Structure 1
Amino acid sequence: MPVPNNAFAHRYGPWAVIAGASHGLGAAFARSLAERGLNCVLVARRGNALAQLKSELEQRYAIDVLVVTQDLAHPNACEQLMAAVGERQVGLFIYNAGGDPYITRFLDTSVEDWGALLRLNCSTVMQCSHAFGAAMLARGQGGLLLVGSQAALGGIRKLAMYAATKGFALNLGESLWAEWKDRGVDVLNLLIGTVDTPTMRDAMVKLNIPDALTMTLPQAEDLALLALEELGNGPTLIHPEDILAQGADTPGAARRAHVLGKSAQAAVFIGND
């Protein structure tokens, strides 16, 4: 059952940071959170798109919006983001960045370019989760939502680094869920296959995918609403399998059981603190 807007804002407000907010799923998260009464920090490289979204949210929902034009693949991205956020109390951090702009065989893209993707999908995710998570734990409430990909579940031809880095974020998120679930901070990995965005359509056209412009794809607004409704049911939501499956026998439920089981086994050797 969805959490009422006032309860949601109390638990995850007053500010939400949405990394990768310029379009698609990130913008959909911002609109849905603004509707719930949360102030929004919008983060992306495309400053013009963020400014337009800021104007829309402020006029439509009467909330406060901070725009941070930031390349999240930069080595100091988290430090710069934290400086921009300042003393604002962030109750929800959403990391929606990290698409693969290359989609090539491993050796057909340079080490330097793969390094940027590694920072975007691993280092920045880790650093921001550490910084925002620490403040949430100190308050005893908040949420972390990592938007990932089903590529995280195993290796894929022409997506070696993308799959590897998304796997890092998935395992980080599931581990943090196990550490934080009894301390008031929710963690959810949202694993998706595709989502209908201009970027996705353009990539499909460039790759000569049949029906690239007409193929039915999941809508960003629907995915954002689903993820926010399921935020307290971590650690992992796999779309669309978890929606299509009947009863409690879902891939996400299996991953939850795996995390709990492995954590209990490891506690014998590493402690249960």
Structure 2
Amino acid sequence: MSEQNTLAFTKKYGPWAVIAGASHGVGAALADQVAAKGLNCVLVARREDALTDLKNQLVDRYGVEVLVVTLDLTLDDAADRLVAAVADREVGLLIYNAGGDPYITRFLDTPVEDWCKLLHLNTRTIMRCCHAFGGRMVARGAGGVLLVGSQAALGGVRKLAMYAATKSFAMTLGEGLWAEWKGQGVDVLNLLIGTVDTPTMRDAMVRQGIAGALTMQLAKAEDIAAIALRELPNGPTLIHPDDLAESPTGSHSGLARREHVQRISAESALFIGD
């Protein structure tokens, strides 16, 4: 990215970025690349040691300010705690990368209390974060919301029923917010990804007895992060890697989803107003 483009990025999405789920993988890669563009970072996850290590790296490499917020995002009041920790810092970019499925089981094989934690993580907490930080961005007329999701959001999946359902909520929320905020200077992008080369993904594959779990070629977190930040202005949905083809086609392409959101929003305005 050129110096001019970096300055434009910082002006629109700075001076602070909140990265939820920043302890490893795509979240950590996003934090690194956001900091490289000059944004200060609020790093959020449960693992304080990993966040502190990342903080030290970002400060040393880029000279940015970094706030570590150790927080379990499945808690009922997680969003309130995060907003309180951020305080009056001017947040121009919200990245919600949390929400992986730690269970990967059939629905009835996991206690409902555990499913409720996943439900809070991918619905209540994400909604409240979008409301709190998105409201600040709309008020100032600039900003961005990046919701890192999954292709599971596109429909039900065996052994991922709750994960798919909650990711679908996040995707639909993001598309609606894109339609509401695109004329107010705030970009919204759902990034729907498949398998990514992270320790969590590798561990899950090993637990499931997948052949080649440790050697299979998977997309790299840093590549996913670069694509996400590049495509942030081009919401509402990017399906990786399908939409990177020269001519993506089919009803599940990001382009098709954008056209659907635009059409339905226009049709609905006849009955519910702009």
What range describes the TM-score normalised by the shorter chain of this pair?
A: over 0.9
Q: C-alpha separation between the residues in 1 aligned to 2:273 and 2:247? A: 36
Q: C-alpha separation between the residues in 1 aligned to 2:63 and 2:205? A: 37
Structure 1 spans left out of the alignment, 5+ residues: none
Q: C-alpha separation between the residues in 1 aligned to 2:58 and 2:214? A: 29
- Which residue is 1:111 aligned to? 112
- Which residue is 1:263 aligned to? 265
> Against the structure 1 CA distance between its residues 111 and 145, is the aligned structure 2 distance closer, same or farther, given a 3 Å change threshold?
same
Q: C-alpha separation between the residues in 1 aligned to 2:145 and 2:91? A: 10
Q: Aligned pair 1:62/2:96, yes or no?
A: no
Q: C-alpha separation between the residues in 1 aligned to 2:248 and 2:131? A: 34
Structure 2 spans left out of the alignment, 5+ residues: none
Q: C-alpha separation between the residues in 2 aligned to 1:112 and 1:248? A: 40
Q: Aligned pair 1:10/2:30, yes or no?
A: no
3-state SS of 2:156 partner: coil
Structure 1 counterpart of 2:270, which letter?
V
> Against the structure 1 CA distance between its residues 248 and 101, is the aligned structure 2 distance closer, same or farther, given a 3 Å change threshold?
closer
Q: Structure 1 residue 245: deviation in Å? A: 4.2
Q: C-alpha separation between the residues in 1 aligned to 2:123 and 2:248? A: 34
Q: Structure 1 residue 244: deviation in Å? A: 2.2
Q: C-alpha separation between the residues in 2 aligned to 1:159 and 1:23? A: 22
**Is 2:242–2:248's contact at 8 Å kept on the other side of the alignment?**
no
What CA deviation, in whole Å up to 9, does each residue of 1:165-201 have, x standing for no partner? 0000000000000000000000000000011001100
Report the RMSD for the aligned CA atoms in angstroms: 1.3
3-state SS of 1:189 partner: strand
Structure 2 counterpart of 1:55, which letter?
N
What CA deviation, in whole Å up to 9, does each residue of 1:98-137 have, x standing for no partner? 0000111111111100000000000000000000000000
Structure 2 counterpart of 1:148, which letter?
G
- Which residue is 2:100 aligned to? 99
Structure 1 runs, 4 residues or longer, greater than 6 Å off: 247-250
Residues 173-188 of structure 1 aligned to structure 2 (within 5 Å): 173-188=174-189
- Which residue is 1:45 aligned to? 46
Q: How high is the TM-score relative to the length of structure 1?
A: 0.97
Between 1:249-258 and 1:7-16, the stretch displaced more is 249-258
Q: Structure 1 residue 246: deviation in Å? A: 1.9
Q: How high is the TM-score relative to the length of structure 2?
A: 0.97
